[in-house]
């Protein structure tokens, strides 16, 4: 009899120290507790899931129910922190359509607070990848920036500087990244192809923005840096102009000195211009070629353009 008591006591101790086991998944239990207004028990279970790393791919839903419980208990600051955790982890997260209006408002306010800084950080990361010539990663990063700026809760902030400028830059660099991703090598299998049919090249119209009856959206500079002027500059400065043709992909197709600045420096300007990049000009939403004249003013200590 004594032995049975000892064995029973050991079983009780083992059960007391064992992890909790539920007949349902813990998140399902938490949902049921929330539905029955047992918010404290639901919070305890949800916090336990996080502490035991049991949330997994449903971490957003766990934090959403934590925020709902906090809001139901009148703990608005805790609810805001739970919402911010979701937004920081996934800036594009969309709350369920049937969520309470107060919680939808909390998500909207959290995005307005957090997304501007998150978007700018994502842009810097994508730009670093672009500078490192990791164009695949860069293109995906710039696309995430554009997706975040298109979030309905960001409509007002995204229409104003600096985010409106960031949208233009991200769009241009995204296009450049996609165009620069190397083409995969062809298959090793040999396939005989018919000889190419010679076709007359199609001459694309070059716009200048002065065409009557045509609305031309001019190109936007993405990379347009002038080289440093060698030697001393006269006190009155030097003026000149370079004319470039920007193709429909935003690359400089040709560059010539329209008004020379100084022999030798002109060649440097033309060489630099071939590396400039733009968001291409557009007519009726379609990218087009554009001829652009850039005035150069060289004065002591700086080079001005317009």
- Domain limits, the chain: 10-90, 109-180, 206-305
Residues 291 and 52: their CA atoms lie apart, in Å, by 63
Task: Encode pLDDT of 123-133 as tens digits.
Answer: 889 889 888 88
Domain 10-90: CATH architecture, name and number where available: Alpha Horseshoe (1.25)
Q: Are strands 206-207 and 286-299 parallel, antiparallel or unpaired?
A: parallel
Instruction: Name which of 143, 222, 150, 219 is nearest 181 in CA terms.
Output: 143
Q: Which pLDDT score, from 0 to 100, does residue 220 have?
A: 92
- Classify 206-305 by CATH class: alpha beta
pLDDT tens sequence for the chain (306 residues): 443 444 444 433 433 444 444 446 888 898 899 899 999 999 999 999 888 888 788 888 899 999 999 989 999 999 899 988 998 888 888 888 888 888 888 888 888 888 888 888 888 898 898 888 888 888 888 888 888 888 887 777 788 777 888 888 888 888 878 876 666 665 555 566 777 766 665 677 899 988 898 899 999 999 988 888 776 777 777 888 999 999 999 999 999 999 998 877 888 888 889 899 999 999 998 999 999 999 988 877 665 565
For the chain, state the CA radius of gyration.
31
Residue-by-residue DSSP string for 94-145: ---TTS-HHHHHHHHHHHHHHHHHHHHHHHHHHHHHHHTT-HHHHHHHHHHH
Q: Following CA atoms 163, 151, 90, 71 in sequence, which dihedral angle do they give, to the nearest 10 degrees? A: 110
Q: Which residue has the tokens 């207004």?
A: 37
Residues 163 and 128: their CA atoms lie apart, in Å, by 18
Name the 3-class secondary structure at 24.
coil
């Amino acid at each position: 009899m004594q032995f049975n008591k000892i064995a029973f006591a050991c079983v009780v101790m083992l059960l007391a120290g064992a992890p909790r086991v539920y007949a349902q998944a813990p998140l399902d239990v938490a949902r049921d507790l929330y539905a029955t207004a047992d918010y404290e028990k639901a919070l305890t279970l949800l916090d336990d899931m996080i502490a035991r790393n049991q949330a997994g791919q449903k971490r957003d839903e766990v934090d959403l129910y934590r925020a709902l419980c906090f809001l139901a208990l009148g703990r608005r600051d805790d609810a805001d922190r739970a919402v911010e955790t979701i937004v920081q982890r996934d800036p594009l997260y969309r709350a369920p359509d049937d969520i309470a209006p107060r919680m939808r408002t909390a998500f909207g306010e959290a995005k307005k607070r957090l997304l501007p800084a998150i978007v700018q950080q994502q842009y810097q990361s994508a730009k670093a990848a672009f500078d490192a010539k990791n164009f695949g990663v860069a293109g995906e990063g710039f696309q995430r920036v554009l997706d975040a700026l298109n979030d309905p809760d960001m409509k007002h902030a995204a229409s104003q500087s600096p985010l409106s400028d960031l949208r233009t830059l991200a769009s241009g660099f995204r296009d450049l990244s996609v165009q620069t991703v190397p083409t995969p090598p062809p298959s090793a299998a040999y396939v005989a192809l018919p000889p190419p049919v010679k076709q007359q090249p199609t001459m694309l119209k070059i716009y200048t923005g002065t065409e009557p009856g045509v609305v031309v959206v001019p190109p936007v500079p993405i990379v347009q840096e002038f080289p440093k002027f060698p030697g001393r500059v006269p006190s009155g400065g030097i003026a000149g102009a370079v004319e470039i043709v920007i193709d429909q992909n935003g690359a400089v197709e040709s560059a010539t000195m329209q008004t020379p600045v100084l022999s030798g420096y002109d060649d440097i300007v033309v060489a630099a211009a071939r590396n400039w990049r733009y968001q291409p000009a557009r007519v009726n939403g379609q990218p087009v070629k554009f001829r652009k004249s850039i005035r150069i003013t060289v004065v002591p200590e700086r080079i001005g353009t317009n």
